[in-house]
Structures are given as structure tokens and as C-alpha cells.
Amino acid sequence: MLKNSLNVRPSGGGAGAFIEGVDLNTLDDDSAGVIREALGEHGVVFFRDQAIAPEKHMAMAEFFGGINVNRFFAHVDGYPKIAEVRKEPDQKGNIGGGWHTDHSYDQIPAMGSILLARETPPDGGDTIFANMYTAYESLSDGLKATLQSLNAVHSSRHVFGAKPKSPLQRESLKGRIGNQEAAQQDAIHPVVIKHPISGKQALYVNPGFTLHFEGWTEEESKPLLEYLYKNAARPEHTYRFQWADGSIAFWDNRASWHYALNDYHGHRRLMHRITVEGVPVGR
């Protein structure tokens, strides 16, 4: 018998579902199984009013896999497995302020992240999520066939490395992102992957970390990538999540993108993020 009485309610937008009737402090195997299936189906799941300590945050994550210790983000004091996503009132740049998929630059990308809101601004600071199942499904049969044969090159060098694409953002994120010497890896993944939970096909390129198609130049790749990005970000594929203290978003990197809006200048926003290890992505 379930300790929790879970209800999975689609967001009503193009991505995600809310999971209600669960206290994540008392998560068990059966409830975690329901969450896993909902995550695979919807790409991201949302929870409200979860008063959980860091220890319980980590315990929740471990139901879904090992914890990935982020090599670029500052961590919460005393909790190296929890990354701190913070913006102070006097800071201009935010973390994640553009469409991206976490860890696509790794040989084995992380499964997903569990982001917990500790302190939210009075207005703004929403995160938009995009559905990579429907982004792929909406393409023509001809383009789908072309994409099925392609791989893409992903990298973190231009974001977290010593020579970032945006030096201004690097300056504004000083103290929140570091370890530049670790941004030396590139990875090659299929452009269309089979999701390991749902079995559905998903688009697996993103504006944040994808450089070009394997065997193509960046110039040759740019028009098609830009078309795919524009299509994926269409409103019918997205959902805008409004945070409140105690809210959680658990997203699957293999089925979604996300974009943290930077529209709350002058206010503090503090989030705790745990990233869950994944498996190799394939066709």
C-alpha cells in the first residue's frame, strides 16, 4: 500500500505535469516508481509545498540514481552534492538564462535535476520548459528521416571554459561558477534519441551546448539547428512554471529543455539543485 496518494495532473501546457498528494520526506519505492514513469512521459514534474531538509533532498534524488557532483557550480555549505543556484539583488546575470539541456556536453549525460526553491522573489524568476517529444513529433516525415541519421557535437568550453562566449556574463557570475579547467570535454550524441524510460523519440540538440552536426561545419549546421530551435521553442511545446518557496521541478534532460527567466533584478533568488546520474543516450 502506498504511503502517499499520488495524483499526476498534466500542466495544461505543452510540457510537464504536477504531482500531488505526496510528501517527499516519506518517499518510498512505489511512489518513486510513479514519479519516474510520469517524468518519462511528461519530461518534467512539479511539486508544491515541500518542506524538505538537504538530507531529505539527497535521499529523494537517490531513489532515481547516483548523485552527480557538479564540477562548475558552487555548492551549498556542508553539502557538496547540492549545487547552489543563487542570484543576489545587486547581480545582473543569472544562471541558466537561455534555452539549454544540462550536461549534454558529457559522454554520459545526467538524467535530470531536482531543483528546490529556497527563496523566491516576489515576482518573476519563472522557468520555462520545452517538450522535446512534441518538438520532434511536429517535424515533417522528411526532416525526421534526415535527422535520424545525424549525430551532433556538444561542448561546455564556450560556456564554462576559460574563454566563454560572453565575458560579460562570466564576470557577472563570478563566485557562482568556477573550475574553468574542467571545461575541456566534448561529446557526440544522436540528434534523435530513444528515451530510456518512455521509449519515445526525442530531439536531442540544444542552443546552449550543441556546436554542430558531426561531419558538418558550424556554418553548414547553423540554418538547420536554428530551425529546430525555433520550432522547439514554439508556445505549444512549452510550459512556464511559477516558483514559490518549497516548490520543486524535477526535469529529465533527455526529454526537455529549460530557460530560467532573468526578470527579478533587485531581489534575491536561491535554489538548491541536485543532479541525478544518467545512462548513455542512443537511438
Can you give the residue ranges of every domain in the chain?
7-276
Partner residues linked to 20 by β-bridges? 7
pLDDT averaged over 10-residue windows placed end to end, the chain, 283 residues = 77 97 96 97 98 97 93 86 94 90 92 98 97 98 97 79 51 54 75 97 96 97 98 98 98 98 97 96 94
Q: Read off the C-alpha cell for 141.
A: 516525415
* Whole-structure pTM value: 0.91
Partner residues linked to 238 by β-bridges? 130
Contact 68, 146 (CB under 8 A): no
Burial (CB count within 10 angstroms: exposed 0-12, middle 13-18, buried 19+), residue 260: buried
Closest CA to 269 of 251, 242, 250: 242
Give the separation between CA 201 and CA 224, rounded to whole angstroms. Answer: 19
Partner residues linked to 46 by β-bridges? 18, 249
Query: So what's the pLDDT on residue 155?
Result: 87
Query: So what's the pLDDT on residue 74?
Result: 82
- For domain 7-276, give the CATH number: 3.60.130.10
CA 69 to chain CA centroid, Å, is: 15
Q: Which residues are catalytic?
A: 100, 102, 258, 273
